[in-house]
Chains A and B, each alone.
Chain A
């Protein structure tokens, strides 16, 4: 099963309410995925030579302050940070590669959930409502947000196996379905320099898109290639810094509904998850076609 939901705002006036609009969407998909849940929110952008990392440590009382101090004193980095339940968001003036290397060496238990200018990924094992409350979803602001409720099939019920998956700057993917060629693809992508944290099939799809984008593909080109190279069942919702995409495989047995108004584009596995959105009664509601992708992008930075 699994449930996926996404909300991409066209009207910036709604950005202060995105969390509040999105929370009931995520909770509505509880029956499709009660094992774990998570979401990626885009907003609160950092400046051009800054990056933002969502970090997690298995111990809830981990000393993030100490980590921040070490980064400031040992790497002489400008940074600010805040904690949100089990994760901490670090905004750092520095390079991703150097930071990754330092963290792997000096704080190996710290897991990097996302890196980018805009993205934050928050996910945990448990019911969607609990996760939404833990991270204070309804107070969040942003331009677009993508969520997932998981009923695990291809790998264990763990935080690491929860969606969304991010394998590159500001890119994230949620998946309903199962891929059949993920082991081979993972090996190929590792040789191309893509890192994987889990044995999960959906992470491979995220890694594949990261690789295509690194090759210079536009999001649309990357999705075109994904339709050729990914084998299995999938409905994907994908977020980038400026974009939002939905794609279904040619068999299209995994459900998807899209709704669009002047204010937003919304995606869900089932229409039930869209019913709390403002103006949904008059929205254009349709089922995305098989083997077809739908992309919304704002003018890039």
Chain B
């Protein structure tokens, strides 16, 4: 295992060392010490690495992640795993707003709570939150799944497309065009698999499913000739 202490090395040096593994992987396991809330830790990785961040991280931690498995032993600031393509990002504490924003793939697990706009414009990522999420989560979410074991804030799934949302607790309010949907056997199967991948022990039958009612303007084929 290689250890990089951010009390001594810069973020640039850390990220460059991790990026260098993309062409030739010489070290799979990495530990990052003293993150002290700095931004952009472990961004843009493109290799099957295991990166352990020992403490709280700042904004955009593990952004644009590809293939790597990043664990944060603490809280993260805004935009954790934003635009992730593949791999996994696990946050042991809480996440601030816009967790998993625009992410295309991979798995984001938040063991604490996530703030506002969790999964905003998500495009294929799977997000599992053990705690609760804030307002405007999954706004314009296009694809992937969002699992919430606690409660969801206001305007969940506003103007969303095809994300599968599963919430165990209370939803404060649904956003425009978001609606509760029937839990069919294939959804129980999907949720079971998601909870297993995230290592979360919950009964899939205790969740409700939400999705797009497909009633907004952009879903109406009659509007196609406007372009």
Interface residues of A (CB under 8 A from B): 250, 252-253, 255, 270-272, 274-275, 281, 285-287, 289-290
**Contact partners of A274 in chain B: CB under 8 A:** 37
Q: Closest A residue to B116 by CB, please name it.
A: A252
Q: How large is the interface on B (under 10, 10 to 19, 20 to 34, 35 or more residues)?
A: 10 to 19
Instruction: Label chain A's interface by main secondary structure.
Output: loop
B36 x A272 contact (CB < 8 A): yes
B56 x A285 contact (CB < 8 A): yes
Complexed CA–CA distance, A250 and B116 (Å)? 10
Complexed CA–CA distance, A252 and B116 (Å)? 8
Contacts A285-B56, A290-B135; A271 near B77 (Cβ below 8 A): yes
User: Can you list 8 residue pairs at the A/B interface with Cβ under 8 Å?
Assistant: A252-B115, A270-B77, A271-B37, A271-B77, A272-B37, A287-B96, A289-B134, A290-B116
Complexed CA–CA distance, A286 and B58 (Å)? 13
Determine which of B36, B75, B135 lies in contact with A275 in the assembled complex, contact meaning CB atoms within 8 Å: B36
Q: Mark B106-148, 1 if CB is under 8 A from A, else 0.
A: 0000000001100000000000000000110000000000000
B58 x A272 contact (CB < 8 A): yes
A271 x B75 contact (CB < 8 A): yes
**Contact partners of A285 in chain B: CB under 8 A:** 56, 75, 93
B78 x A255 contact (CB < 8 A): yes
Known pairs A250-B135, A272-B38, A287-B115 / 9 extra A-B pairs, C-beta < 8 Å: A252-B97, A255-B77, A255-B96, A271-B56, A272-B36, A274-B37, A285-B75, A287-B94, A290-B135
What number of residue pairs across chains A and B have CB atoms under 8 A from each other? 39
How far in angstroms is the closest Cβ of chain B from A252?
A: 6
How far in angstroms is the closest Cβ of chain A from B156?
A: 14
Interface residues of B in 56-81 (CB under 8 A from A): 56, 58-59, 75, 77-78
Complexed CA–CA distance, A285 and B134 (Å)? 17
**Contact partners of A289 in chain B: CB under 8 A:** 134
Complexed CA–CA distance, A281 and B34 (Å)? 10
A275 x B37 contact (CB < 8 A): yes
Q: Closest B residue to A274 by CB, please name it.
A: B37
Contacts A271-B58, A275-B36; A290 near B77 (Cβ below 8 A): no
Complexed CA–CA distance, A273 and B221 (Å)? 52
Complexed CA–CA distance, A289 and B97 (Å)? 11
**Contact partners of B77 in chain A: CB under 8 A:** 255, 270-271
How far in angstroms is the closest Cβ of chain A from B79?
A: 11
Q: Closest A residue to B36 by CB, please name it.
A: A275
Complexed CA–CA distance, A299 and B135 (Å)? 35
Complexed CA–CA distance, A271 and B93 (Å)? 14
**Contact partners of A286 in chain B: CB under 8 A:** 94
Residue among B37, B56, B78, B134 with the highest chain A CB neighbour number at 10 A: B37
Complexed CA–CA distance, A287 and B91 (Å)? 15
Complexed CA–CA distance, A290 and B36 (Å)? 24
**Contact partners of A271 in chain B: CB under 8 A:** 36-37, 56, 58, 75, 77
B58 x A270 contact (CB < 8 A): yes
How far in angstroms is the closest Cβ of chain A from B171?
A: 16
**Contact partners of A272 in chain B: CB under 8 A:** 36-38, 58
Q: Closest A residue to B59 by CB, please name it.
A: A270
